[in-house]
Amino acid sequence: MKAAVLYEKEDLRIIEDFEEPVMGDDDVLIGPKSTGLCSTDRSLYRGFVPFKPPLILGHEISGTIKEVGSSVDSLAVGDHVIIPPVYPGCDDESCAPCREGLTNRCKRSVFIGHGVHGGNAELIAAPARYSFLVDKKVPLDEVCIVPDAVSTPFHALKSRSMPMHILVKHMGKFKNMAGGHQAGEAKGHPEGHHWLNGKNVVVFGVGGVGGPTINLAAKYFKAKNVVAVDIFDNKLELAGKLGATQTVNSSKYFEDNGIELKELGGRDRSKALSGLAKHISSHLAEDKFQVDLVMDCSGVPDTFAVGIETVSKNRTLVQVGWPPRPVAGFLNQKVMDKYLTITGTWACPMNEMTECVEAVEAGLVDLNLLVTNKDYSLDQFVDAIHDLEAGKILGRATISIN
Ligand SMILES: [Zn+2]
Ligand SMILES: [Zn+2]
């Protein structure tokens, strides 16, 4: 089969006759239609992340089922499916994190396109129970971004955003607020179930994950205000289309105030970052500067400090973007004084994937706006990585496989 294979860092070859995957009784064989291009693909290509070659890249996959294993009766040939980039590798979800419902944190997590072969190939085999059926009306060349770029912020907003004191108070009262999706509930729409309804959210970084975060917070979780913060005007423009009610260009703020952040250290730096935080929340003056949630999708270390300053007392900051290095001058006194809940997040547990897919099927996620580039063929995979590095891809790019 044809596949995009990484042999060593920066040595990615399109192979015409790569060995086909072997399917087990509980698996399905999928012919990928499209894959989403993620910065993780770039990190693997550049050798920033270790991997065992040869490796087929691609972990955001949509495709059509070509064959089903002998024990599979939930899916059929011709069905459209997506596969999550991280799924449990333990038998029957039996490890400690899986037993707690954290199938996204399984001790033997399988990382598609990293630990095992990915979807930039004509065929991939995956367990049927982790292959999620998608309505055929949703375009395959857009829905491929759902497994990672959409489901990650979906889980973060749904289950990682609630302040601890509210979570404890409502435990057992609203089953749907923090746990998994309950069968039989309103399909694809929370209709006021979720605590974010009517709240104010600030999203740092309008990238591949920040875009869907804004979109979901505004459209699905029905936040009142979603303030998008970035350093690029074209990204902020996209944020507006995705549902951001206000936008802030942070570098323009520093420029307008004659602040050279790079030259500042210690107390002056803290003051400058604090000034930016005040500027961001000033957009919520109507609600007395109330920021109920900060979603840090930027992965920029300084942003964490600004986020701590931006979020209101008794509220939550979620680290969504991967920070490349530790934060200097961590504001731990602020964490205590403001009674903050700070959470990390990682991919999406299996029991929330279904609700995420339902949100997509209900048209509550603007995939057509989130996918900004879909002209790359498998042969152009390296070009796509270069374009991603050069900042030429505004939202998410998808690679056309078949
Ligand atoms: Zn990814
Ligand atoms: Zn497990």
Q: What pLDDT score was predicted for residue 258? A: 97
Distance 372 CA to ligand 1 centre (A): 16
Ligand 2 center to 105 CA (angstroms): 7
Proximal ligand: closest to the CA of 148: 1
- Which residues of the chain are under the pLDDT cut of 50? 176-192
**pLDDT at position 179:** 41
Output the CA 15–ligand 1 centroid distance in Å: 23
- Ligand in nearest proximity to the CA of 41: 1
The predicted pLDDT at position 173 comes to 59
Task: Name residues whose C-beta falls within 8 Å of residue 50's C-beta, 6 or more positions apart in sequence.
Answer: none
DSSP 213-280: HHHIIIIIS--SEEEEEES-HHHHHHHHHHT-SEEEEHHHHHHHTT--GGG--HHHHHHHHHHHHHHH
Kindly write down the DSSP assignment for every residue of 17-54, as one continuous string.
SPPPPPP-TTEEEEEEEEEEE-HHHHHHHTTSS---SS
User: Hey, what domains does the chain have and what are their CATH numbers?
Assistant: 3-150+348-400 (3.90.180.10), 161-344 (3.40.50.720)
Compute the distance from residue 63 Cα to the ligand 2 centre, in Å: 25
What's the 44 CA to ligand 1 centre distance in angstroms?
Answer: 11
pTM for this prediction: 0.93
Distance (Å) from CA 385 to ligand 2 centroid? 32
Q: How many residues can be counted in the chain?
A: 402
Compute, in angstroms, the gap from residue 279 CA to the centroid of ligand 2.
Answer: 44
State the distance from the centre of ligand 1 to the C-alpha of 45, rounded, in angstroms. Answer: 13
**What whole-number distance in Å separates Cα of residue 156 and Cα of residue 146?**
14
> Which DSSP state fits 138?
S
Ligand 2 centroid–CA 148 distance in Å is 19
Q: Which ligand is nearest to the CA of 97?
A: 2
Burial 120-159 (b: 16+ CB within 10 A, else e): bbbbbbbbbbbbbbbeeebbbbbbbbbbbbbbbbbbbbbb
The closest alpha carbon to 331, from 383, 372, 271, belongs to: 271
Tokens of 75: 């899916």
Q: Retrieve residue 294's tokens.
A: 């900060």
Using alpha carbons, select from 264, 260, 222 the residue that is nearest to residue 243: 222
Alpha-carbon distances, residue 75 vs 9, 339, 394 (angstroms): 37, 47, 35
d(CA 129, CA 260): 52
Q: Which ligand is nearest to the CA of 99?
A: 2
Question: What are φ and ψ of residue 313, in 5° steps?
Answer: -60, 145
Note the pLDDT tens digit of each residue in 121-174: 999 999 999 999 999 999 999 999 999 999 999 999 999 999 999 988 877 655
Q: pLDDT per residue over 306-352, tens digit each?
A: 999 999 999 999 999 988 788 776 678 899 999 999 999 999 999 99
CA of 277 to the centre of ligand 2 (A): 40
